[in-house]
Amino acid sequence: MKITIICDVLGNPNNGTTVAALNLIKALKEKGHDIKVVCNDEDKKNLEGFYVVPEKNLLFLNYIVHKNGVKFSKVDKKVLIEALKDADMVHMMLPFALSRFTVKYCRAHKIPTTAGFHAQAENVTSHLFMKNIETANKMVYKFFYNKFYKYVDSIHYPTQFIKDTFESVVGPTNGVVISNGVNSIYTKHKVSKPNELKNKFVILNIGRYCSEKNQNVLIKAIGQSKYKNMIHLILAGCGPDKHRLMRLAKKNNIECEFNFYSRAQLSDVINYADLYCHPAEIEIESISCIEAISCGLVPIVANSRKCATKYFAIDEKSLFENKNSSDLCKKIEYWIEHPEEKEQYSQKYLNNSFCFDQQLCMDKMEKFILKNYYARKKMEIK
């Protein structure tokens, strides 16, 4: 089948949407489908199957979005129409300008469409310093729906959490819940700690260094712990807040390592770490937390109403009050003091992780896309 995938944002795999897009592209190609990809990445310009459009100029917002490692796409009708020519199916990743033009074109030319839901309202309003203003967030969701999602044949939601959140604002939608899945490299295996960490309790966090990930809460929690001298914190990622977090770690006098790892390296780090902490306030799925769980690492996650990650927690021992560093400190100390129970919980989390197998999830995505194709064709015959 000829499938065109529209990526308003692609770039480096430093965010969940890009990773989800790249995984889907790879999986569909491996399944034998003819894939075309539209994006604004100049480095893809001469690659087969890629159609490159210009970057969208957001004027005064350019600095903010670039700081977060994001570039939005500008509509180039000529490039888009070429990429959509002869397409059997079109899947769009985000509800922005490129996809909004595409869905209108596809409706006019009777091309079946599906779309992923990979952007929370807060991902938009946080750039405008309004992420905690509920009226603004609801307006964003209504805009997403009225300008884009109500026109697609079906919506892919990575979690039930984001489906419920969106539908609480706009009403019922035609959508399915399918996890983006975890790469098979993230499995439990024996890895020795580096020599310099042999006598340390290693706490890991994976995610971009930005305000909504709340790594500052984790740093403060360790800073007030009676065990802080035995703790080594690893913040795996990159992002605009790196230097601010480094200063905070120094101020709290904690041992903190900042690093960006390859998949293979990160899998090893997860397997020698002792605990995973995820203080993010805003999250649609948090594949990084599922990666940790898939390696048997016990998590502690923020009990934030705007974050899907809390639903991965088995019980209250893996939850802490959102933004409360003192509560997080207590949970960290509990697991340090109960190593045998932590080992039991490790197995429990492993048992719960199999539904996130990426191959299984990509099989479901293929069926989702094909189902919508055949449903549309059946309607046309009638």
pLDDT in tens, 91-137: 999 999 999 999 999 999 999 999 999 999 998 887 777 888 999 99
Whether pLDDT at 12 is above 80? no
Specify the CATH number of the domain 2-181+357-381: 3.40.50.2000
Asked whether this chain's domains 2-181+357-381 and 195-356 adopt the same fold, the reply is yes
Whether pLDDT at 21 is above 90? yes
Order of strands across the sheet that contains 255-259: 255-259, 231-236, 201-206, 275-278, 299-302, 319-320
Predicted pLDDT of residue 63:
55
Q: Domain ranges in the chain? A: 2-181+357-381, 195-356
Predicted pLDDT of residue 309:
92
Predicted pLDDT of residue 206:
95
**What's the rounded Cα separation, in Å, for the pair 187 and 177?**
24
pLDDT tens, residue by residue, 245-265: 999 999 999 999 999 999 999
pTM over 0.95: no
pLDDT tens, residue by residue, 51-94: 999 987 665 555 555 566 667 789 999 999 999 999 999 999 99
Mention every residue, 6+ apart, whose C-beta is less than 8 A from residue 67. 240
Predicted pLDDT of residue 72:
75
Whether pLDDT at 382 is above 60? no
Residue 154's DSSP bridge partners are 114
Predicted pLDDT of residue 310:
93
Compute the average pLDDT of residues 224-245: 95
Determine the Cα angle at 282 with ends 279 and 284, to 5°: 115
DSSP assigned state of 208: -
Specify the CATH number of the domain 195-356: 3.40.50.2000
Compute the average pLDDT of residues 266-271: 97
